[in-house]
Each structure stands twice: as structure tokens, then as C-alpha cells.
Chain A
Amino acid sequence: MNDDSAYAGDADGPEVSGGDGVDRRGFLHCMAWAGTGLVWAVTGGVLSSRALSPASAAEPARDFSFVQISDTHIGFKGEANKDALGTFEQAIARIKALEPTPSFIVHTGDITHTQKAGAFDTVTEALKGTKAERVFYIPGENDVFADGGKEYLGRFGGPAGTGWQSFDYKGVHFVGLINVLNFKAGGLGNLGQTQLDWLKKDVERLTSSTPVVVFAHVPLWAVYPKWGWVTDDGEQALAYLKRFGSVTVLNGHIHQIMQKVEGNISFHTALSTAFPQPAPGVGEGPGPVKVPAEQLRSVLGLREVNYVQGKSPLAVVDSTLA
């Protein structure tokens, strides 16, 4: 793996304008979910979608792409997926098959299920086997519950040891946030004041035309607070991002694709590679859902994000393992 500096200081920023005359909300209202795969194309902060097929002839030109993988839950042995390692490996194979090779990979947490010895290694070794230059890891609660984040931070905490991080790549500013540490009884996902202060400072220097991509495990928006699918102080973080013309927030945690747009901020939650969870409020509570075996791979998956400089689209492509 390369070090952080590989992505630092890239000044070839695209000119992204939020004022391109397209009615974002109208555009979004026209979107429809389609089958097992979608392409989200973001132009000047505007999302559009088309169906994704493996042999799509309409593959857009791109300057770079990256992959979001999430909720691999290595160590999960429940009824919802007796072979979570197998479906993880299938996702890895999909990443290896991507053309062109993604520049980097982001893992948005719940890398492991139980933090058992070797689980982190399983994931890091597998992702090293892809040709991506770099992998960024953001923890989920399952990665830090046993030791308060000691192992995660030791492995992935970076020079500052905090775990939260940012980098610039080809004009896009990427921020990884941690909202699963220091859970309090009765509480929710939270970032904490120290991290919020860091975020504020981190984005202060950026021009408002800089596309921003934010990663975090628990959704930064209120997907379903009753099940803890929200970040308590997420609003504060988003307040620092509102001035940007294009902000894409990528989360995991809920094991299903959901999206929402607020102004220029688009939110996406990702599929797990391990097991699905119920739609918000459906059933008695969250947790692994067992689906018929032949359907399992259609509810697991990963995400590819493509970026084209100048034209400023950020295409978010969700695909299942089916």
C-alpha cells in the first residue's frame, strides 16, 4: 500500500458548479429503483440513474473510480448467511474484475463481526489482493466494541491515531469520519466535538466548488432513529458541508441501499457483503434477515463510484452479488 502522500496535493481540481440550471429535486423525483443494479450519475451535484448491467455498453468515461465495500462482518456465522466469508470473497472477485482498476477502496465499517483474532487480517489481505492502490478503513461498532477501538486505531488510525482522515484525489476532497466510538447507554452514533472541530478546520480551506465525498459507518442522516440508524451530531457535520456544490455521503450500517438528497448533499447507504437487514421499521427490530438461499446474493453487494473531471459527474454504481 502507498502512503497518504500519494493523494495529497493534487491540484487538478475540476470546476464543479452547483448552478447548472438543473432542478435537482425534480431530477431525483424522476429516479426509480431498478432491479439489482443502479448507476448513480452525479452532475454538478445532481444525481441521475440508469439500470446497471454487467456488460453495459453505456459505460461512462471516467478519470478515476473507487469502490465502497461495507459491512463485511467477517466472523458472522448466523442463519442469515452461513457463508459470509464466501460472499465476501465473491465481492473481492468482483473488485478484481473491475476495468479499469479502481484507484482505491473504502471500507465503511463492520469489517469484522466479533473482532475475533484474524478477522481484520482476512479483510486487509483480501483487499490487498485487488489492484487498488490504497484501501481506507472506517470502523463500524462491531470493529470497536470489544476494545474501545484499540485494535482498529492501531491498524488504521493513521499518524494522528484518531482514525478520522481526509485526502484529496484528482480534485475531489475525501473525508472519513468515525461515529461508532464511545457509545453511551441510550445513545446513538456520534462524532464528538473533537472530530467535529477537526472536520470544520479540514474543509475550511476548500473552495465551495470542490466536490466532497464523506464516508462514515452509521448514516449521517436520520434513516430511522428508533433503531439507532442516525448520527446524533451528524447535522453539525453537515452544516460544515452545506456550502459545497457537490457533497456525496456514503454510509453503511443498515445493509441496504437508501438515498436521500438535501440541497447539494446526497446520501447513500450501501449493501453488506454478509447479510441483509430489514427495511426501516419493518418487523420488531434491526438485525440479520434470512432470505431464501437463492435470493441471498441479490441483497448483498458493493458499490463503485466513477468520477469524470470537468464534466463533474460522480456516478455511484450499486451492484449486487447475484
Chain B
Amino acid sequence: MNSNNGSIRARWLWRLAVLGTAAFGALAVATWAPAGQSTQGAAGGQMAQPVVVAAQAGPRIEITKHKFSRPTLTVPAGTTVTWLNRDEDLHTVVSTILAFKSAGLETDEAYSYKFAKPGVYEYFCTLHPLMTGKVIVK
């Protein structure tokens, strides 16, 4: 279930993860920081702050309270889109035609997919099928 191309799993070290994984495949969780640090501010180490994705090329869709922050997103072909689960619940991001399929994303885990070809890509959370979205690739 963890073999999906483009999957990125990062806990709190999102930025580092993005910087560290140039282009290839799944990135295992390399480091664990106690959950809760981000909500308590930057009292911990330098990385213990809310996820920063400025370094990540491409748009990001956040998941909170069983909703995708950008249910419709339009991007040019070749764009890598990243979904970041900011919810307490487990979610997935799965194309309705299985063009892409994330593993289960726990809190602060993310998944990325590069949209190479134009088209309308509808997706949903297979755990909570009322959570739907689409990426329009032009």
C-alpha cells in the first residue's frame, strides 16, 4: 500500500522532506518529532513549527475537518500537486479512475502527484466518500 509513486510522508519535517526528496518515489518518515509541538508553537526545536511549504514547488491542498481546501484546482500540465492532511482523521486521496492513489494519510502526512497530461481528474477520500475534489489540468 505504500508503493504509490510520488508519495511523500513527512511528519513535521515536511520542509526538510521536500527539500530532501528531489524527484523520486516514496520517502519514508525519517524522523519523528512529538505530535503536538506544532500546535504549541515553536517552543521545541527549529523544525517544530507549523508545516511550511514555501519550498515546495506546486500548489498544495490541505485537508481539514473532512474537507479539501481547494475542491477545484486548475493547474498547467506538468504541475505537481500536494495534498497535506491537517486533520485528526485518516484520509486518502484517490482518483475516481485510479490515475493516482495515496496511502492512508495520517495527521501531517502528505501525498504528491505530478499531473503530466491535461484532463479533469476527479478524486475522493476512500474512507469518507463525501470528500471529493477535482484537479483540472490544462
Residues of B within 8 A of A (CB): 1, 35-36, 39, 64-67, 87-90, 92, 96, 103-104, 106-107, 122-124, 126-130, 132
A188 at the interface (CB under 8 A from B): yes
Q: Which residue of the partner chain, among A142, A186, A287, contacts B87 with CB atoms under 8 Å?
A: A287
- Across the interface, name the chain B residue whose C-beta is closest to A186: B132
Contacts of A146 in B (CB 8 A): 1, 103-104
User: B129 touching A147 by the CB < 8 A rule?
Assistant: no
Minimum CB–CB distance from A109 to chain B (whole Å) comes to 12
Given contacts A78-B107, A146-B1, A227-B130, whether A186 and B90 have CB atoms under 8 Å apart is no
Bound: A186/B129 CA distance, A: 5
- Some 17 contacts from A to B, beta carbons below 8 A apart, are A77-B106, A78-B89, A78-B106, A79-B88, A114-B106, A141-B128, A145-B127, A146-B104, A185-B96, A185-B123, A186-B124, A188-B130, A227-B66, A283-B65, A284-B65, A286-B66, A287-B65
Cα of A226 to Cα of B66 in the assembled complex, Å: 11
Once the chains bind, are B89 and A287 in contact (CB under 8 Å)?
A: yes
How far, in whole Å, are A184 and B124 apart by their CA atoms in the complex?
8
Return A275 CB to nearest CB of chain B, in Å.
8
Nearest neighbor of A287 in chain B, beta-carbon distance: B89
**Closest CB in chain B relative to A82 CB, distance in Å:** 8
Give the shortest distance, in Å, between A256 (CB) and chain B (any CB).
15
Within 8 A of B (CB), among A151-192: 183-188
Residues of A within 8 A of B (CB): 77-80, 113-115, 141-142, 145-147, 183-188, 226-228, 283-288, 290
Assess A79 versus B35: contact at CB under 8 Å? Given A185-B122, A185-B129, A287-B65.
yes
Asked if B89 contacts A288 (CB within 8 A), the reply is yes
* B92 touching A228, Cβ below 8 Å: no
Q: Are B88 and A183 in contact (CB under 8 A)?
A: no
Give the contacting residue for B88; candidates A78, A114, A142, A226; CB below 8 A.
Answer: A78
| B90/A113 in contact, CB under 8 A | yes
Contact pick for B104, options A78, A145, A285, A288, CB 8 Å: A145
Question: Which of chain B's residues have a CB closer than 8 A to the CB of A187?
Answer: 129-130
How far apart sit A222 and B74, CA to CA, in the bound complex (Å)?
A: 35
Shortest Cβ distance from B105 into A: residue:
A114
How far is B136's CA from A69's CA once the two chains are assembled, in angstroms?
43
Docked complex Cα distance between A227 and B127 (Å): 12
Q: Which residue of B lies closest to A78 (CB)?
A: B88
Which residues from chain B contact A285 at a C-beta distance below 8 Å? Answer: 65-67
- Chain A's nearest CB lies how many Å from the CB of B123? 8
B128 to chain A: closest residue by CB? A228
- A77-B106, A78-B107, A185-B129 as given contacts; A114 in contact with B90, CB under 8 Å: yes
How far in angstroms is the closest Cβ of chain A from B83?
15
Q: Inside 8 A of A79's CB, which chain B residues have their CB?
A: 35-36, 39, 88, 107
Bound CA span A142–B65, Å: 17
Q: B88, A80: Cβ atoms under 8 Å? A: yes
Nearest CB of A to B70, in Å: 16
Are the CB atoms of B127 and A141 closer together than 8 Å? yes
CA–CA, A146 to B101, complex, Å?
A: 10
Establish whether residues B104 and A183, one from each chain, have CB atoms under 8 Å apart when the complex forms: no
B90-A188 in contact (CB<8A): no
Across the interface, name the chain B residue whose C-beta is closest to A114: B104
Given contacts A147-B1, A285-B67, contact A228 B35 (CB under 8 A): no
Interface centre among A79, A146, A188, A288 (most CB of B within 10 A): A146
B-chain residues with CB within 8 Å of residue A284 when the two chains form the complex? 64-67
Kindly state the separation between the CA atoms of A146 and B2 in the bound complex, as whole angstroms.
Answer: 9
Q: Which residue of chain B has the shortest Cβ distance to A147 in the bound complex? A: B1
